[in-house]
Structures are given as structure tokens and as C-alpha cells.
Amino acid sequence: MDRRKMLAFLGVSPALLTGLPVGAAETARPSHAHAPHEHADEGSLITVMNPAIPGKLAARVPLNPPLDSLNNKTIYMVNLSWEGPDAANYFYEAMTEWLNKHYTGVKTIVKVTAEGMFGSDPALLKDITAKKADAAIVGVAG
């Protein structure tokens, strides 16, 4: 559906999407928009959320330097369960085989996050830190 037509049908000006608070009574209704099922009072306010990125960026943390080699390194492979808890397993198995073929002493540890793709998993982060992992591969979908 065309956004402008939808907003016009609702009696809302597209100017509201700029993020400025505006009362519904202050919004001019287009002459072609008839909303017979309107339930809001003319004096009520509506809240429009602005999806724009805020001006302040998150603090930057420098990346660790790249490893010279993967020989004798521990690599965590973290499955975020994008398509289910077993979705990335075939990929991680193939990657483990490839790493073992090309590097000596590589240890891979596959883990599934407890809270899925939208949460954090403090226990897993603590485990990775405690085992002094050399690298991590995170978020591969199946």
C-alpha cells in the first residue's frame, strides 16, 4: 500500500514522520481523504516515532590485531539460532574439517546462545573469556 495514501486515509499528514510532535487537530486533512470510521477526538495528540539514527554514535572499541596463524588456536563458533538451534551445524562441521585440514592443533568449540539472536548470553561470554579463546565466529545462519 502506498504510505501517502495510507496516511491520508488515516487523516495524518506525511509531515508527522519528521519526528516533530504535532497535535491531530493541527494536521490539515487532505480533501480527498474521508475517514468515516475515525475514532480519535480532534484535539487528541498522536505520537510518531522517528526511525532515524540518533546523532550520537556508540563508543568505538578498537579491534584486536589479526592472528599470525590459526595453528594451535582455540576458535569458538557461536550459533545464534537464526533458523533454529541446529541450522548452522553443517556449516560449523565443514569449517572445522577445513580448519583441521589446513592448520595443526586447531580446537573448535561450537556453542548455541541461550537467548538466541536478539539476546546476550553472559554465561557464554564468560566461558569464551575464561578459556582464553583466540577467535570467534558468530552468527552464521544455516
Q: Furthest-apart CA pair in the chain: how many Å?
A: 74
Rounded CA gap, 92 and 110, in Å?
A: 7
Summarised one tens digit per residue, pLDDT across range 2-45 is 766 666 666 666 665 555 555 544 444 454 444 555 555 667 88
User: Reduced to 3 states, what is the DSSP secondary structure of residue 82?
Assistant: strand
Strand runs labelled E in 21-84: 74-79
> Which three cell numbers mark 121?
548470553
Binned at pLDDT 50, 70 and 90, residue 49 comes out as: confident
What are the residues whose beta carbons fall under 8 Å from the beta carbon of 127, sequence distance 6 or more?
111
Residue 70 near residue 130, CB atoms below 8 Å: no
User: What's the average model confidence in pLDDT over 39-57?
Assistant: 76
Mean pLDDT is lowest, of 7-21, 43-57, 83-97, for: 7-21
Domain chopping of the chain, boundaries: 1-50, 74-138
The DSSP secondary-structure symbol of 23 reads B
Query: For residue 39, what pLDDT is reported?
Result: 54
